[in-house]
Amino acid sequence: MLRDIAPSALLALAAPQLASAFYLPGVAPTSYKPGDAVPLYVNSIRPVASPQDSQLHSVISYDYYHPDFQFCQPDDGPKAVSESLGSILFGDRIMTSPFELHMAQNETCKQLCSVVEDDRQSAFIREKIQKGYSLNWLVDGLPAGQQIEDQLTGTTFYSPGFLLGQDDETGNIALNNHYEIWVEYHEVSGDENQLRVVGVVVQPSSKKYEGEDPPDCGDGRPSILLEEGEHSHDVTFTYSVYWHKSATAWATRWDKYLHVFDPKIHWFWLIDTAIIVVILVLTVMSILVRTLKKDIARYNRLDQINLDDLSGTSALEEDGVQEDSGWKLVHGDVFRTPSRPLLLSVLLGNGAQLFVMTGCTIIFALLGFLSPSNRGSLGTIMIVLYTVLGFVGGFVSAKVYKSMQGEQWKANIALTPLLIPGVVFSGFFFLDLFLWAKQSSGAVPFTTMLVIIGIWFIISIPLSFAGSWIGFRGPAIDPPVRTNQIPRQIPPTTTYLKPIPSMLIVGLLPFGAIFVELYFIMSSIWFSRIYYMFGFLFLCYGLMIVVCASVTVLLTYFLLCAENYNWQWRSFLAAGMSGGYIFLNCLLYLVTKVRLGGLAGTVLYIGYSALISFLFFILAGKLPVLTSLFTSNMTHRLHWLLCKLVVCPQDLLLHQDRLSCRVSGGSAETLKMGLERW
């Protein structure tokens, strides 16, 4: 389950406050009267950073009512609360609890139950406390958390969840069995009968009761220490509830939970990336303009040559006007069908599908439609968009494959919705087996797996088939020049244009555009934090697109100038290498920020990181191929138009497949008449 390692923001990101000020229709406020019951739901127990070393020691979550935790249950047994598909996939397992909260009524030292934990259960809980596991409660949709002060900015915010126990520097490990629940409420328009919950804070503590009935929750009591060895413990769980009137309005209650860590670094990095983008775009524009401008100057020199004089031809040759150079030497091979066109078209179709899905998801989040108050909305909208956009993937794949003159159209239609989703689903299912073996709450239920397969085969695949059918029925993308029958020999290239060096260089720039935002996304994914900086993410996504397009257009231009026309796969792999850098960054994160001792945790971390990097590889690889194809097509057409308007229109009418115009024995009057005609 992705929420084990990926909580409320996968793949996440104008002002960040926009996300907290808008709520989806249906997420309506609930008003209570004094004394009304306010339900408290419990969620999965998840690992966070250990208090000792601020590092993550596990990625496996557990159900709140896991037998080894021995938490108190409701009299009629815990009942599951209905959740969205995205909430289930992200690891939420919300259930009812025995806690009784009544609006605006304080409760002091109320007993829940008493349990006896044997030595095995004590060792299990001790290990989870050492790894920094935290409890997650929900009160009126708000997560119960702890109040934390940001040392950098001095601001205070609520961090969702609170620690299962305490681990001090002396090695004493205590289980938190008493909870002080502080609930903030707001009066609607001063009406005492319309009260709304606007904040929840829990202060856990460990108190050892010596057979007291009722227990005394006063300060100064000894803690329940979980010592190593065979020891059983009698544990009594208690709680107190305190209600506090607040001026916070219901619409802004999430502002306390949504906190930006070090906002200045976001702006600094965005400005630096924007400068790089401007330089890249200007470089691409200058190269294209200089190329066409140079051709104009060469062709205009024809006006000074007497075409009737035989010496004009030699003068032409001496002047170099007739000689093609650079990318024009391979004009008859630029649009040659690359190797493995079927696989490339399938990857491009899936990349287009992921590209549109990611962009739409970020825009929805930026506009506030993915409010954190609607749990699982991020995952749900991603699944819905990916399913619906199967039409886009099928259409792009078919269109590209037809333009490559592919003949295995049935294989293209079948592989587009099956190959990449099948690889991702197989990897996801394999990793889910580890969660099932560990009895983790993050393991996706078998029924949910069936639902995903049903959505895939009943909705996504038919839409992809429809898109492919329309793509194959439509006209192919005609290249501006005719492809030679015999491929031109490719001369040896310089070192930096070889496949591996060019991939490493080109892939580094798009990764650099998203590096800082990727760090904050990784922190929210693995440390169970709420990520909502969708404004920054939107800007980074746009900059990443421009960087990918610009740098691969330059790579394509340099390849063609080196008479290497195999640019399609080179562009795809070079830009897709940014996904490889993301995976390397995840491995670096594993070494520096994560300490996973067990095999299962390490496999889950690396496996999910590989899946995310693989999807980004396909998304990023799609951008340059289509961009370079459009740019090459446009450049060749502009050059052809330049020849037609400036040099030899009549000759060009007979040889429209030529990129450069050669005077074929006409007269100056013929040239003049042709120019006047055009």
* pLDDT tens sequence across 208-255: 887 767 777 877 777 887 777 666 778 889 999 999 998 888 888 888
Among residues 669, 73, 84, 569, which one has the least CA distance to residue 340? 569
Residue pair 435/4 in contact (Cβ under 8 Å)? The answer is yes
Q: What is the pLDDT of residue 520?
A: 82
The DSSP code for 250 is G
- Rounded CA separation 355/30 (Å): 38
Say if residue 320's pLDDT is above 90: no
- Of the candidates 143, 208, 132, 152, the residue with the CA atom closest to the CA atom of residue 177: 208
Range scoring the smallest mean pLDDT among 21-25, 65-69, 342-346, 389-393: 21-25
DSSP string, 540-567: HHHHHHHHHHHHHHHHHHHHHHTT----
Q: Provide the 10 A C-beta neighbour count for residue 110.
A: 15
- Nearest partner of 525 among 582, 460, 463, 472, judged by Cα: 582
Q: Which residue shows structure tokens 């909305």?
A: 377
List CB contacts of 534: < 8 A, sequence separation 6 or more: 12, 13, 14, 16, 18, 19, 362, 365, 366, 370
Query: Which residue has 């670094």 as its token pair?
Result: 265
User: Which phi and psi (to 5°) does residue 249 adopt?
Assistant: -75, 155
Q: What is the pLDDT of residues 540-595, one digit of tens each?
A: 898 888 888 888 888 888 888 888 888 888 888 888 899 999 999 999 888 887 88
Question: 339-357, pLDDT tens digit by residue?
Answer: 898 999 999 999 999 999 9
Q: What is the pLDDT of residue 629?
A: 58
**pLDDT at 180 > cutoff 80:** yes
The region, left, alpha or beta by phi > 0 then psi within -120 to 50, assigned to residue 439 is left
Q: Confidence class of residue 91 from pLDDT cuts 50, 70 and 90?
A: confident
Q: Is residue 21 within 8 Å of residue 249, measured between CB atoms?
A: no
Q: Is the pLDDT of residue 7 over 50?
A: no
CB atoms within 10 A of CB 453: 11
Is residue 207 a contact partner of residue 178, using CB atoms and an 8 Å limit?
A: yes
Q: Which residues of 217-230 are buried (b: 16+ CB within 10 A; e: fewer)?
A: beeebebbbbeeee
- pLDDT score, position 25: 39
Q: What is the pLDDT of residue 294?
A: 67
* pLDDT for the residue 456: 93
DSSP reduced 3-state for 205: strand
| Sheet architecture: strand order including 133-135 | 46-47, 133-135, 162-163
